[in-house]
Amino acid sequence: MALLARRGDWTQLQSVAQARGIWTSSGLVRAVAEMDGPLILLREAVLQVGGSLEVEYGSLVQFAAPAGTLEQLARTPGVSHIRTPHTPVSTETPSEGLTSMGLELWRQAGMLGRGARVAVVDTGFDGYWNLLGKELPPQPTVRSFRADGDITGGGDLHGTAVAEIIYDVAPEASMYLANFATEVELGAAVEWLTGQGVHVISSSVGWPGTAHGDGTGTINEMVKRAESRGVVWVQAAGNFGQTHWTGLFTDPDGNGFHNFSGPDEGNTITLRRAKPTEERVFRVEIFLTWDDWDCLCQDYDLFLFKGDGVVAQSTAFQNGKAPPVEHIVYTTAATGDYWIGIQRFRASRRAKLDLVVTLDYNLEHKAPQESLVVPADSPLALTVGAVDAGTLDLRAYSSQGPTKDGRIKPNLVAADQVTTATYGPQGFPGTSAAAPYVAGAAALLKGARPGLSPAQVRALLQQRARGPGSPGMNNAVGAGQVFMGELIGGLFLPLTTKGASLP
């Protein structure tokens, strides 16, 4: 193939912003500035072009401004890089999961999480008010960190279903609900929650394309900061076991395009309607990353083809500032086969590539290993995969380890495809549903023994795991299925963890 043309970064940023719907009601585009100097000059510059400042977290500034002013704002002293905000994807794919958790003796002893504070951080909590005092606590603490203050997240039910499962497991724990739409807003939410003395944070969203997968990056720093303040962070592993591919760039014919297998330079996805008469618009989201997070100088591009024609592309310049990420968002009503192409634009070595499609469109070349979503790769996150509630078989879509630096993940697995009031009898699938079971279990431990550190909670839950994985660890199910077990005299066993005495 011939080298495909690149288009300017600013045109591409505006195009991606429009596709992802991150325009404000006044027609401004929402963006994030990564700062390496004082923030004051950018604040003034944004206001001068008719924009508005929204949220700040560390060296990140989220703002809204006219699209045509972004290139000008990027030249403001102190600005390292301007990009679209990172936005999470849900890991969704009472609770039948309760029956296999070994909670009977805990229930009989009245150990239901009293004294523990557990938070759900998610994209939306639509309809939560209808479940208060029934499927949710009567008076949870609720706060939106979105720029528009919309706790529903535009009508998103996901967080509400997550909260239901935690309440099933630990009904006497105090509950906090906090929603967000960008990583800057998540940072603000985590700061507030740690200030409220929260003991457990349950996260059932992930952030593809934001970090290398070795425990580093902005979102993982949030996990680290929360853990340093005594918070157990429970994280869904992700649902990319069947929609992820990884491998070294290979180009035997020297035409610049990666070969996925033999002469095959395309990774096919298929868009199909359930019924011929069904009206449906497909939203295809694809991330490409590679192992160049320090230099930022190896440049690869991402293309989506239909037939021989390019229908979408991501061609950012990796010139020492932009991260090794290409991201396509493509909306279409046209069914059929499409194929993903990866092109080397300017690279001095064969990078290891990672490709993620956020929905299952029958990806042709796939690899479940290393498919964890950030921050499931954090060494301080209690990462949870998904198993069938009845058979305890691992779900094919449940993301697997290892991390990019070779650590075993996930830590545990729990049931998914469970019934909730929010989603009804069709069930709540995915690691989104599995993670809150473990978050509820962590709340039970904190309620029973408030002095437990996050590391001790993680160790106890892994030691008590049952089924495949136990008594060892593997990159499919970790230590096994979450299991609470026996009590003696109102206290749980074991009374010590390896190398650490319990208070």
244-357, what's its fold? Jelly Rolls (2.60.120)
Separation CA 161–CA 443 (nearest Å): 17
Q: How far apart are the first and last CA of the chain?
A: 65
- Looking at residue 220, its pLDDT comes to 98
How many CA atoms are closer than 13 Å to the CA of 225, on its beta-carbon side?
Answer: 18
- Looking at residue 27, its pLDDT comes to 73
Report yes or no on whether pTM surpasses 0.95: no
Q: What is the DSSP string of 186-207?
A: HHHHHHHHHHTT-SEEEE-EE-
Residue reference for tokens 């083809």:
305
CB within 8 Å of 91: residues ≥ 6 apart: 204, 205, 206, 236, 237, 238, 239, 373, 430, 431, 432, 435
Give the CATH superfamily of 92-240+371-501.
Peptidase S8/S53 domain (3.40.50.200)
pLDDT tens track for 106-128: 988 899 999 999 999 999 999 99
244-357 matches 92-240+371-501 in CATH topology: no
- Looking at residue 96, its pLDDT comes to 63
User: pLDDT under 50 in the chain at which residues?
Assistant: 1-3, 5-8, 10, 93-94, 488-490, 492-503
Q: How does strand 232-236 pair with strand 200-203?
A: parallel
- Looking at residue 120, its pLDDT comes to 98
CB within 8 Å of 311: residues ≥ 6 apart: 304, 305, 330, 332, 338
Separation CA 165–CA 435 (nearest Å): 9
Separation CA 456–CA 225 (nearest Å): 17
Domain spans of the chain, in order of start: 9-83, 92-240+371-501, 244-357
- Looking at residue 98, its pLDDT comes to 81
- Looking at residue 489, its pLDDT comes to 39
- Looking at residue 368, its pLDDT comes to 97
Q: What is the DSSP string of 6-67?
A: P--HHHHHHHHHHHTT-B-TTSPEEEEEEESS-SHHHHHHHHHTT-EEEEEETTEEEEEE-G
- Looking at residue 277, its pLDDT comes to 77
Separation CA 2–CA 482 (nearest Å): 52
- Could you tell me which CATH number the domain at 9-83 has? 3.30.70.2980
| Polymer length of the chain | 503
Its sign, for the CA torsion 38, 217, 93, 438, is: negative
Identify the CA nearest to 459 among candidates 402, 404, 502, 398.
Answer: 502
User: Number of helices and strands (H, E) in the chain?
Assistant: 9, 27
- Looking at residue 498, its pLDDT comes to 39
- Looking at residue 198, its pLDDT comes to 98
